[in-house]
C-alpha cells in the first residue's frame, strides 16, 4: 500500500470518527505486559538503524509489528487482532488503515498505537488503498462468511464515517492503488481500470489475456506500474503507464531463467525511478524505471509483500517468516526477525519516510 504512497501488500478527518468509535472487543484484544521490543534476530543481524524510516507489518497470526528505525528494532503493539490481517496502508507516519480477513476495517491516527473499527464489511477482503486522512478504498468480493464472488470496491471520503459501494460483477479483483484522493487504478486477473473521480466511476483501460495481474503501484498521478505473470510460460510481466493508466506499455525483463515459476511476480513497489518486484527466486529490481532489470538474491525466505520508504530503504515479507530489509535499494538484503514475533508469516507491509523519533 510507494505513492509517495507506500504500501505493500504496498503506501496510505479520522479525528471525529476515532473519537466517536470505540475499539471493537471482537476485533481487538489487549495484550498483557505492554509492547514487546527487542533487537534479537535469530535469522541474522538487522540493518543499521535508519531513524525516520517507519514500517508496519501484519501477519497470519493477527499481530501488528512496528519499526521506526528501518527495521533495526521492532515492537509488537499492545493488542492483537483476533482476525488475520490482510493489508495495511499508511499515508504518513501517523495515519493508517488496516483490513482483516473478517471484513473489518480499522484506522489509526497515532502510528498504530491505538486503532478504531470504522467499518465492518460483508466482504472477503483482498486489498486496501489510502491516499489521505479521509480517503480509503477496500477491494473484496461477496460476503466474508459466505465466500461470495461479486467483486466490490468500497470507498470512503470522510475518514470512514460513510462508505459507497461499486460492484464489478464476476471480476476477480486483485489490487488497488491511489496516487491522490481522485486518481487511482484497479486490477483484476487480466484487466486494469482507472478512475479520476475518487472511484465513483471506473474505465477499463487494458485487457491482457492469459495473465495474472497481481500488484499495482503509483508514484504520482501519471506514473504507474503493474506486475503479474504469464499463465502459459510463468514469465514475469511488468507494464508501465505515463498518463495515469490510460495507456500501457509492456517492459522487457531480461533476466536469467530461474526455474519454472521462480520469477512469477507477486508484488511491486516503486520510489524515485527505482522498482522492486518480489518473486519466489528473489527480488527483480530496476534502477532506471524499468529499462533494465536484475534479479537480487535474498539470504532467506521467498519474498512476498514489499514496500519502499524511499529509493534506498526497502522492506519485504517472506513466506517462511523472516523479514527482509535493504538500506541500499536492494544491492544487499538482510534477513532477520525474532521467532516469537513471527510465529506465522507476515502477509503485508507498509513503509513511509518521516521525521526521526
* Per-residue pLDDT tens over the stretch 83-99: 888 999 999 999 999 99
Least confident window among 59-68, 92-101, 179-188, 190-199: 59-68
pLDDT band at 258 (very low <50, low <70, confident <90, very high): low
Other beta carbons within 10 angstroms of residue 356's beta carbon come to 11
Higher-pLDDT residue of 60, 182: 182
Q: What pLDDT, on a 0 to 100 scale, did the predictor assign at position 45?
A: 63
Average pLDDT over the chain, rounded to whole?
A: 84
Residue 27 CA to residue 99 CA, distance in Å, equals 11
The pLDDT confidence band at residue 330, using thresholds 50, 70 and 90, is: very high
The pLDDT value given to residue 319: 80
DSSP H or E run through 205: strand 203-207
Of 4-18, 104-118, 122-136, least confident by mean pLDDT is 4-18
**Region of 169 on the Ramachandran plot (φ > 0 left; ψ -120 to 50 alpha; else beta):** left
Contact status, residue 316 vs residue 334, Cβ threshold 8 Å: no
CA-wise closest residue to 89 among 339, 349, 356: 349
pLDDT over 70 at 286, yes or no: yes
| pLDDT value, residue 206 | 98
Question: How far is the CA of 266 from the CAs of 27, 236, 249, 272, in angstroms?
Answer: 28, 9, 19, 21
Q: Domain map of the chain by residue range?
A: 14-29+40-353
| Alpha-carbon gap, residue 272 to 108, rounded angstroms | 27
Phi, psi of 26 (to 5 degrees): -70, -30
Where does 14-29+40-353 sit in CATH, by number? 2.130.10.10
The rounded distance, in Å, linking the Cα atoms of 105 and 336 is 29
- pLDDT of amino acid 342: 61
What CA–CA distance (Å, rounded) separates 65 from 55?
Answer: 8
Q: Is the pLDDT of residue 31 over 70?
A: no
Of 39, 14, 41, 30, the closest CA to residue 300 belongs to 41
- Which range (43-47, 140-144, 265-269) has the least confidence? 43-47
**pLDDT tens digits for range 17-26:** 233 333 343 4
Query: Rounded mean pLDDT of 120-140?
Result: 95
Q: What is the pTM of this model?
A: 0.86
According to DSSP, the residues that pair with 129 across neighbouring strands are 137
pLDDT at res. 262: 83
Amino acid at each position: 500500500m510507494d505513492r509517495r504512497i507506500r504500501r505493500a501488500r504496498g503506501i496510505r478527518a479520522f479525528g471525529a470518527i476515532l473519537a466517536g468509535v470505540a475499539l471493537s472487543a471482537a476485533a481487538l484484544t489487549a495484550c498483557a505486559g505492554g509492547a514487546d521490543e527487542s533487537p534479537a534476530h535469530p535469522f541474522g543481524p538487522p540493518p543499521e538503524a535508519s531513524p525516520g524510516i517507519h514500517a508496519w507489518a501484519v501477519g497470519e497470526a493477527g499481530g501488528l509489528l512496528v519499526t521506526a528505525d528501518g527495521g533495526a528494532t521492532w515492537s509488537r503493539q499492545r493488542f492483537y487482532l483476533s482476525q488475520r490481517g490482510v493489508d495495511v496502508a499508511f499515508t504518513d507516519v501517523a495515519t493508517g488503515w488496516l483490513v482483516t480477513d473478517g471484513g473489518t476495517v480499522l484506522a489509526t491516527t497515532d502510528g498504530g498505537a491505538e486503532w478504531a473499527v470504522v467499518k465492518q464489511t460483508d466482504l472477503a477482503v483482498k486489498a486496501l488503498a489510502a491516499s489521505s486522512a479521509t480517503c480509503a478504498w477496500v477491494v473484496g468480493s461477496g460476503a466474508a462468511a459466505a465466500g461470495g464472488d461479486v467483486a466490490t470496491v468500497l470507498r470512503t471520503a470522510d475518514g470512514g464515517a460513510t462508505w459507497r459501494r461499486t460492484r464489478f460483477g464476476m471480476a476477480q479483483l486483485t489490487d488497488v492503488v491511489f496516487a491522490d484522493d481522485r486518481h487511482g487504478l484497479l486490477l483484476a486477473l487480466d484487466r486494469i481500470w482507472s478512475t479520476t473521480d475518487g472511484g465513483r466511476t471506473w474505465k477499463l483501460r487494458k485487457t491482457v489475456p492469459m495473465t495474472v495481474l497481481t500488484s499495482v503501484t503509483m508514484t504520482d498521478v501519471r506514473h504507474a506500474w503493474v506486475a503479474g505473470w504469464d499463465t502459459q510460460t510463468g514469465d514475469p510481466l511488468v507494464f508501465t503507464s505515463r498518463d495515469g493508466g490510460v495507456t500501457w506499455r509492456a517492459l522487457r525483463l531480461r533476466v536469467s531463467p530461474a526455474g519454472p515459476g521462480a520469477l512469477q511476480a507477486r508484488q511491486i513497489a516503486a520510489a524515485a525511478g527505482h522498482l522492486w518486484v518480489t518473486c519466489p527466486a528473489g527480488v527483480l529490481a530496476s534502477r532506471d524505471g524499468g529499462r533494465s532489470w536484475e534479479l537480487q538474491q535474498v539470504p532467506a525466505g521467498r519474498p512476498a509483500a514489499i514496500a519502499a520508504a524511499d529509493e534506498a530503504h526497502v522492506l519485504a515479507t517472506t513466506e517462511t517468516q523472516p523479514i527482509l530489509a535493504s538500506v541500499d535499494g536492494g544491492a544487499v538484503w538482510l534477513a532477520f526477525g525474532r521467532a516469537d514475533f513471527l510465529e506465522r508469516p507476515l502477509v503485508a507491509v507498509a513503509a513511509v519516510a518521516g521525521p526521526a523519533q
